[in-house]
Chains A and B, each alone.
Chain A
Amino acid sequence: MNSRRRRTVAGLALPLLAVGLVACSGAGGGGSKSGGKSINVLMVNNPQMVDLQKLTADNFTKQSGIKVNFTVLPENDLRDKASQEFSSQAGQYDVATLSNFEIPFYSKNGWLAPLDSQVSADASFDQADILKPMTESLTGADGKLYGEPFYGESSFLMYRKDVFAAKGLTMPAKPTWQQVADLAAKLDGAQPGMKGICLRGQPGWGEVLAPLTTVVNTFGGTWFDKDWTAQVTGQGFTDATNFYVNLVKAHGEAGASQAGFTECLNNLEQSKVAMWYDATSAAGSLDGAGSPVAGKIGYAPAPVVKTANSGWLYTWAWGVEKASKNVDGAWKFVSWASSKQYEELVGAKLGWSRVPAGKRTSTYSNADYLKSAAAFAKPTLSAIQNANPTDPGVQPRPTPGIQFVDIPEFTDFGTQASQFISSAIAGKLSVSSALSKSQDLAQAAAKKYKGK
C-alpha cells in the first residue's frame, strides 16, 4: 500500500513539476517588454484578421519596429470585451476592430481618438480612395473621422447556377422576396438533402437580426419611427418576420435556429442549400481556392419588396482608444492594415480572393483582383454603393443604420429580441409573441430618447 501510495504521489508530482518548470522559465522570458515599442490590438476572429495576424510580424513589425500583440476573440466575445474596455478606458488596448455600429456612439462618448490629423498628414494613405458610404459611417456626430475600414461588406443573394440550370430556373436580375420564396420551394430537394435557401437563425443582434432587419426594411417595417416609438409589432415588421420565419422553416437549412454565417457557408459549400442571403464577404470563400463550389455561384442583389435596394452596410474598422498611450504607433498599424499596399501584399502572398476588400475604390480597378473576383466584384461594389444607412426603409428614421439601430442599448435588447426570434424559428414560440416581447424591450430601451 505504502509503495503504491508513493507511486501515485510521484505520478501527481510529475505533471505539476513539469508545468511548474515551464512556469518558471516563462516568468523570466515573458517579463521583457520590447522597449515600449509595441501596441496591443483587440480583434475579431474572422479569416481576414487571421491573415493579418500572420502577415504582421514579417512585414509591419519588420518595417516599423513596432511589435503587435493581438487578442483574438469570436464576435460576441469581442463585442463584450471591446465595450468593457472602451467604456472604462482601461487602456489595455491601443486599437480594436469596431464596426460602423459602435463607432458613432463610441465617438460621442469620447472613447475614441480622432484620426483626422493623422489622415491629413499621411498622403500615401489616400483617404479619398475609401468608399464614401464607409467614410460616412465611420464619422462621428462632430464631423471627425474615428475609424478606418479594414474590410467592408453589404449583403446579396448567392445561388448555385448549376442547380438553377438543372432545374430550368432563372434568377431575376433584381429578385423580390416573393420570387426568392417561390424559387426556394422549387429548389427544395433539387439534389438529395438539398434545401432551398440558407438564412441565419442564430441568436445575436449581429446574427439573425442582420438579415432579418434588411427584410423588415424592405417590407416597410422599422424598429422605431422618427419619434422613437417602437414599431416591432407594426404591420411591416410583423409581415417581414412571418415571411422570414416561414421561409426558413419551410425551405431553409437544417438546424436553422443555430445557423450563422459559418453554418450557411458550410451548407452552400457542401450542397446542402441552393441559395444563401448573406454578407458579400462570403463570396471570397465560395469562389476561393479549395472551395468545392468555386465557379458555380451566381450573385444577385439583395431581394426587395417595397424599397429599391435592401442590402446592408457593414464594416470591420480600426478604432484607436482615447486612453491609448501610443496613438502614433496605433495609426502606423491602422494605416498599414487598411492600405492599398496591404491588399497587394495579401494578393501576392495569400491569393487575391483573400484580399480584405469592399473598402477602397482602387481595389475594384485592380486587374489582379478582378481576375480572381470576376464573378462577384461588381455585384459587391454596387451593393455597397447602393446602401443608404440614413434612409434604408420607407419611413424616416431617428438614427442611421440599416441592419441595426445605432444606439448602445441595441446590443442588449437586440440580442434578447434575437433570442425570441431564434426561438420562433425553432418553433418554440409564435412569431406574434416573439414580436410582442421584443416590442416591450425596444420600447423600454428607447424611453430615454423619447421627446429629445
Chain B
Amino acid sequence: MTASATVAPSRTTTTRKRKSSGVRASSLSAGLASWLIGIIFFIPVAWMVLTSFHSESDAGTNPPKFGAPLTLDGYREFFGSGTGQSPWPALINSATASVVSTLLVLGLSIPAAYALSIKPVRKWTDVMFFFLSTKLLPPVAGLLPLYLFAQNAGLLDNIWLLVVLYTSMNLPIAVWMMRSFLVEIPPAILEAAAIDGAGLINIMRKIIAPIALPGIAATALICFIFSWNEMLFARVLTGVLAETGPVFLTSFVTSQGLFLAKVCAAATAVSLPVLIAGFAAQDKLVQGLSLGAVK
C-alpha cells in the first residue's frame, strides 16, 4: 500500500514486542465492548430463530415467553402442513434466478473488467462511471414499462425475466469489483506470457483466472445475496409460477389472526441459504465489499 503515509517509514524494524499491560487492558475492554455490540446486533436474529420454534400462541405473548416449549409447527406450516402449499417451487425459483443471474453477471463482467483494466479501452473511466450511474437510477421508475413489456411479450410470471433483470441490477457493481481484482495482476506477468506467445484465451485461463479466482468468488457471493433478497421486481412481475422466496414469505402475513411464529420460521428458512453462504465465506464478503482492498 502506498497512499497517504504521514510518518516516515525509516525506523520500522525496531522493537516488535511492545505488548504492554496497558494494551492488554484496552484490548480486554475492546473485547467486552465488541461482545456487547455483537450481542445487541444479534438479538433480533436470535429472537427470530427462537420465535420460529415457538407455537403461535406462545409467540404472541407479553411478557415474552423465552422458555416456552419448542415446536416445529412454524416450519411445518412453512413446508405446507397448513396450506398444502409447498415452498419448494418458490425457493427453486429464487435459486434459479440468483444462480443463473450470477453466472450471467460473471460472464459479462469479467470480459468487461478485462477491457477496463488489463487492456483498457480509451475513456475507460467514463465507461466505469456509466456503469455506476445505472445503479443510481431508481428501479421503480422503470417498473411500469417493464411490466407492460412483459405483459405484451408474454413474459409475466416468467423466472427468466427476473434472471435478466437481476443480471442488469448486479452487473455494474460486479464490473467495479472485478476490475479492482484484475487490476492487481502485475502487467509484467502478462507481458511475459504474451512474449512467450500465449494466446488471449490461454492468458485468461492460465494466468488471470487463478489470480482472480478469489475475487470472482467474492463477486459471485455479493451478486447471489442481492438477487436472492430482491423483492420489488419479484412481487410485481411474478405470479403463481415464478414466485420467489421473499414473495412466498410475505404470504404468511395475514391481517386476521396470529402469524408471528410462522413468519419467523419462513423468514429463517428463506434467509438460510444467504446466511450459510455468508458465514462460510466471511473473508470473501469483506474482500468483495471493499472492492478487493484486502488480500
Contact = CB atoms under 8 A, between A and B. Distances in A.
A436 interface: no
Given A11-B280, A270-B60, 11 more contacts: A22-B95, A23-B96, A27-B92, A45-B253, A45-B254, A45-B255, A46-B254, A56-B84, A71-B243, A71-B251, A282-B256
Interface residues of B, number: 54
A76 B80 CA distance: 23
B96 A45 contact: no
Contacts of A18: 273
Given A12-B220, A26-B95, A71-B251, A90 B156 contact: yes
User: Which 3 A/B pairs are nearest by Cβ-Cβ distance?
Assistant: A26-B92, A11-B280, A12-B281
A14 B89 CA distance: 21
B255 A70 contact: no
A92 B247 CA distance: 16
A14 B156 contact: no
Contacts of B256: 46-47, 261-262, 265, 281-282, 285
Contacts of B99: 16, 19-20, 23
B218 to A, nearest CB: 8
B213 to A, nearest CB: 7
Contact of B284 (A8, A56, A81): A8
By size class, the interface of chain A is 35 or more
Interface string A282-293: 100100001000
A40 interface: yes
Interface string A205-224: 00100000000000000000
A282 B62 CA distance: 21
B78 interface: no
A260 B255 contact: yes
A53 B81 CA distance: 11
Interface of B: 57, 60-62, 82-85, 88-89, 91-93, 95-96, 98-100, 102, 147-148, 151, 156-157, 213-214, 217, 220-221, 224, 235-236, 239-241, 243, 250-259, 273, 276-277, 280-284
Dominant secondary structure of chain B at its interface with chain A = helix
Nearest to B257: A47
A72 B239 CA distance: 10
Interface of A: 4-5, 8-9, 11-16, 18-20, 22-23, 26-27, 30, 40, 42, 45-47, 50, 53-54, 56-57, 69-75, 77, 81, 84-85, 88, 90, 92-93, 207, 260-262, 265-266, 270, 281-282, 285, 290
Given A71-B240, A71-B251, A266 B95 contact: no
B95 A72 contact: no
Contacts of B91: 22
B239 A92 contact: yes
A16 B220 contact: yes
A20 B39 CA distance: 33
A429 to B, nearest CB: 24
A91 to B, nearest CB: 9
A46 B239 CA distance: 19
B86 to A, nearest CB: 11
Contact of B254 (A5, A14, A262): A262
